[in-house]
A = this chain, B = another copy of it.
Amino acid sequence: MATSWVPDIDPASDFSLANIPFGIISTPDDPTPHPAVAIGSYVLDLKVLAADADFTQLFPDTPSLPSALSQPTLNAFAALGRPTHRLVRSTLQDLLSSDTTRPSVLRDNEALRKAALLPQRAASMHLPMAIGDYTDFYAGYHHAHAVGVMFRGEANALQPNYLHLPVGYHGRASSVVVSGAPVRRPVGQILVDGKPVTGPSRKLDIELELGCFVARGNEMGARIGVREAEDECIFGYVLLNDWSARDVQTWEYVPLGPFNGKNFATTVSPWVVLADALEPFRAKGIENATELQGYLKGGREDGVFDIALEVDLTTAEGDTTTIGRTSSKNLIWSFPQMIAHHTLGGCPMRTGDLLGSGTISGPGGVGERGSLLEMTENGKKEVLLAGMDARTFLKDGDTVTIRGSCGPEGARVGFGECRGRIYSAVQG
Interface residues of A (CB under 8 A from B): 132-133, 138, 159-161, 164-165, 167-175, 177, 182, 184, 186-189, 196-198, 201, 217, 220-223, 245, 248, 251-260, 263-265, 293-295, 341-342, 344-350, 353, 423, 426
- With the chains together, A295 CA to B133 CA distance in Å? 28
Residues of B within 8 A of A196 (CB): 161, 164-165, 293
Residues of B within 8 A of A132 (CB): 173-174
Residues of B within 8 A of A161 (CB): 196, 251-252, 254
Report the 5 A-B pairs with minimum CB-CB distance, sorted nearest first. A257-B257, A186-B345, A169-B256, A184-B221, A170-B170
A174 touches B222 (CB 8 A): no
- 24 A-B residue contacts at CB 8 Å? A132-B173, A132-B174, A133-B174, A159-B254, A159-B255, A165-B196, A165-B251, A167-B255, A167-B259, A168-B256, A169-B169, A170-B172, A174-B349, A182-B221, A186-B344, A187-B345, A188-B344, A189-B341, A196-B293, A221-B264, A221-B426, A255-B257, A260-B347, A263-B342
Residues of B within 8 A of A133 (CB): 172-174
A168 touches B259 (CB 8 A): yes
Residue of A159, A251, A253, A346 with highest tally of chain B CB at under 10 A? A346
- With the chains together, A423 CA to B221 CA distance in Å? 10
Residues of B within 8 A of A197 (CB): 293
- With the chains together, A107 CA to B272 CA distance in Å? 56
A293 touches B344 (CB 8 A): no
- With the chains together, A175 CA to B253 CA distance in Å? 23
A350 touches B174 (CB 8 A): yes
Q: Which of B186, B189, B260, B344 meets A260, CB within 8 Å?
A: B344
The minimal Cβ–Cβ distance linking A243 to chain B, given in whole angstroms, is 10
Answer whether A169 and B170 are a contact pair too, CB < 8 Å, given A184-B221, A186-B345, A260-B345.
Answer: yes
Q: Which of B264, B295, B342, B345 meets A347, CB within 8 Å?
A: B264
- With the chains together, A223 CA to B263 CA distance in Å? 13
Residue of B nearest to A348 (CB): B174
Residues of B within 8 A of A182 (CB): 221
B347 touches A263 (CB 8 A): yes
Q: Which of B160, B174, B198, B222 meets A344, CB within 8 Å?
A: B198
Residues of B within 8 A of A255 (CB): 159, 167, 253, 257
Residues of B within 8 A of A260 (CB): 341-342, 344-345, 347
B345 touches A248 (CB 8 A): yes
Residues of B within 8 A of A342 (CB): 260, 263
B168 touches A138 (CB 8 A): no
The minimal Cβ–Cβ distance linking A158 to chain B, given in whole angstroms, is 11
Residues of B within 8 A of A346 (CB): 184, 186-187, 264-265, 426
- With the chains together, A201 CA to B187 CA distance in Å? 39
Answer whether A165 and B189 are a contact pair too, CB < 8 Å, given A263-B345, A345-B245.
Answer: yes
Residue of B nearest to A177 (CB): B220
- With the chains together, A183 CA to B38 CA distance in Å? 44
- With the chains together, A184 CA to B260 CA distance in Å? 31
Answer whether A198 and B293 are a contact pair too, CB < 8 Å, given A170-B171, A173-B173, A252-B165.
Answer: yes
The minimal Cβ–Cβ distance linking A204 to chain B, given in whole angstroms, is 10
B257 touches A169 (CB 8 A): yes
A175 touches B256 (CB 8 A): no
Residue of B nearest to A257 (CB): B257
Answer whether A187 and B138 are a contact pair too, CB < 8 Å, given A165-B252, A198-B295, A256-B169.
Answer: no
